[in-house]
Amino acid sequence: MYILRIEHPVPDYAGWKKAFDGDPALRKKSGVRRYQIMRPVDNPNFVLIDLEFDTAKQAEVLLAAMREVWGRIQGTIMSDPKARIVEAVEPPRSDHPSPGKRLGRSRMLGTLDQARYQRV
């Protein structure tokens, strides 16, 4: 599995998200299997996007298309994009115990305190 990771600031998340949902680079037709949008908890005007592909070539083609899109919109709904293609060398894993294993209350709370994610 290959992931195209894109990150950049956005002046207005809602405006950027509307453009993203419009799919200007045709990611649906470019082989994107799934994607995830993230934002730092301390900066809602910055986005990180992971786009998952079966092949590195698919990711490269979409990145080339995105560079064309960025050239047209630079400074409006986003700026200074950074991108890289990475290969997933291990599947996602959970450090949480299996559902059958019971945790003590203090350990469970500690686990919850460590996982601070912001939903988009």
Nearest to 37 by CA among 78, 5, 73: 5
Give the whole-angstrom CA distance, residue 103 versus residue 62: 44
Q: Which CATH architecture has domain 2-92+99-114?
A: 2-Layer Sandwich (3.30)
Give the whole-angstrom CA distance, residue 8 versus residue 5: 10
Give the whole-angstrom CA distance, residue 80 versus residue 8: 6
Q: 108: helix, coil or strand?
A: helix
Q: Are residues 87 and 2 in contact, defined by beta-carbon separation less than 8 angstroms? A: yes
Give the whole-angstrom CA distance, residue 5 versus residue 83: 5
Report if pTM > 0.75: no
Q: Give the mean pLDDT of the chain.
A: 83
| Model pLDDT, residue 118 | 39
Give the whole-angstrom CA distance, residue 16 versus residue 9: 10
Tens digit of pLDDT for each residue in 1-32? 999 999 999 999 999 999 899 887 788 889 99
35 burial type by CB count under 10 A (0-12 exposed, 13-18 middle, 19+ buried):
middle
| pLDDT digit string (tens) for the chain, length 120 residues | 999 999 999 999 999 999 899 887 788 889 999 999 999 999 999 999 999 999 999 999 999 999 998 888 878 888 899 999 999 998 888 887 666 555 554 444 444 444 443 333
